[in-house]
Amino acid sequence: MKTQYVHPRLILGSSSLYRRELLERLKLPFETVNPAIDETPWLNEKPEDTACRLAETKARAIASQFSDALIITADQVAVLEGVQLGKPLNHANALKQLQFMRGKEVVFHTALCLLNSRSNRLQMRRIPYTVKFRELSDQQIEGYLAKEQPYHCAGSAKSEGLGIALIERMSGDDPNALIGLPLIALVDMLMEEKVAVL
């Protein structure tokens, strides 16, 4: 029996330019909505659990506004030696993060959520990606921060930009996860909802 594909309303719950650019690669029409939630980690919450909770919270916040849509959300946290590295938000915090990360392996946990607001069916995946940072001097870190100012990126580095020069090696199942939207997993999820990507 032939699969019946659907063309639902797709909403990306994010204000991130990079996530929007990634989703555009799938050539599907979509809208963007800023979920505007409190992203503060809970006390004693594991970083990977924070990412999943926030991705789901974003999706449910948007579902309250759209009753018949597929809502795509994601959240990312970086972890080094058990310490969660969030968005630095300013130069001083970014400098401290990158000094802490130099010469070490950092795991970026990206949680991806797809919520069907009509059926309330929720799919969730967590995609880890490991990044080994170069042994950087303070001068190199300052030079990078002056040029890119990655103050709204978990871990203070944009691998899709000049941040790639900070990295010695990377490993994981989907390089898009590091940028913030794991497209390989998303295609699987969309297919589960009978959305034809190809």
Determine contact, residues 136/109, Cβ cutoff 8 Å.
no
> Token pair for residue 26?
């799938």
Q: Among candidates 87, 105, 111, 107, which has minimal Cα distance to 97? A: 87
Task: Determine the Cα–Cα distance for residues 32 and 72; give it in Å rounded to an integer.
Answer: 9
- Among the listed residues 75, 138, 173, 188, the single catalytic one is 75
| Phi and psi torsions of 116, nearest 5° | -90, 105
Task: Determine the Cα–Cα distance for residues 114 and 72; give it in Å rounded to an integer.
Answer: 5
- CA distances from residue 62 to 30, 162, 184 in whole angstroms, order as listed: 14, 33, 23
Q: What is the DSSP string of 64-87?
A: TT-SS-EEEEEEEEEEETTEEE--
Report DSSP state, residue 14.
Answer: -
68 is catalytic: no
| Catalytic positions, written as ranges | 75
